[in-house]
Amino acid sequence: MKISKQFGLSLVEVLVALVISVFLLGGIVQVYVGNKATFKFTNALAEIQENGRFALETISQDLRLAREWGCIAFDPTDTGNINDTLGAGNPAGYDTDWHDFLGEPAIEGVNGAAAPDTLTIRGGKPGTANVRSESTSNAFQTAGEQWIHTTPINTIAAGDIILIARCGANDLLIDAEADIQRVTGIDNSNPVQTRINLGAAKSQMYQNDATVIELQSVQYTIANGANGQPALFRSEFGNNQELVEGVQDLQILYGVDTDNDDYPNQYLTANAVGAANFDDVVAVRVMLLMRSLDDNVTETSQTYTFNGATVTPGDRRIRQSFTTTVALRNRVGS
């Protein structure tokens, strides 16, 4: 049997194979890096858009419910038709900035100058409950009692502030059409009705034409969040919570009605409106500047325009502005 000679690869062939492999590997790495950069960019952009839409929707909902008093008329210059039972010690830590719904404007703000603005909103929350008359007695609805029965409701809890409004009956002997009350307890054990214990006596008998609305005082500010990123904070009755991260700036313009037709004539900053004129605000324009949480998302610094100013930042984050104008539905065209 004849054994044939075996020949290996020459050095030149090995070098050629290595060069081809390097080119192929370089192409694969380039595709990977490109795909990773594209994913990082699209993911950051999607995150910005989702956070921006959520922030605007949350603020807009609170604005639409500013000065929400249900079925009764509310005149900030004449509040005699509303019996306010809140005061020092009721609730605990009573603060006029948060709990004085009659004396403080429904909308007010503070200019941040070179910093973000602050927006404060007072009004109702979504959803109402109807007062439920007793089948055998109206004792639970009688003036002077500190509880009331409503249709089932699970959104109200002890410590909340509610407005009980008389919607149908017009009792000429009673000036008040509504009570502002603190809730001291809730009993939902009965499936057909909810018992609400109140912090003070009711001003009158409430029949089943009356409604109950939960009230709120909220404030929006910008500060660094838990991860060190600028974030939008929402404070309800002074309880501050981080709402959305990646919010770099908040600017507010207020639509002021100057000719008493309930429609905005001009949009002004909080300083231009002045504390005495916030009751003339009938619309609010909200401007948010969102930024990506990660840096080095773009190849170069991204120039952006926000609130009339064009800025080139020192980082490589994505930024996008979001703007919406919300009519205060309880003021416009009323």
pLDDT for the residue 35: 65
pLDDT for the residue 183: 97
**In the chain, which residue ranges form alpha helices assigned H by DSSP?**
11-64, 96-99, 270-273
1: tokens are 């049997």
Q: Does the N-terminal peptide bond of residue 91 adopt cis geometry, omega within 30 degrees of 0?
A: yes
Report which residue type is found at 130: N
Q: How far apart are CA 252 and CA 223, in angstroms?
A: 16
pLDDT for the residue 18: 83
pLDDT by 10-residue block (mean), the chain, 334 residues: 65 79 80 72 91 97 91 83 92 93 92 88 92 62 84 93 85 78 94 93 88 96 94 96 96 92 91 87 96 91 93 94 91 53
Q: How far apart are CA 114 and CA 307, in angstroms?
A: 11
pLDDT for the residue 295: 92
Residue 292 CB neighbours (<10 A): 25
CA distances 166 to 147, 233, 247, Å, are: 16, 35, 42
pLDDT for the residue 334: 47
Helix (H, G, I), strand (E, B) or coil at 35: helix
Q: 305, exposed or middle or buried, with CB in 10 Å at 0-12, 13-18, 19+?
A: exposed
pLDDT for the residue 172: 57
Place of tokens 């809140």: 86
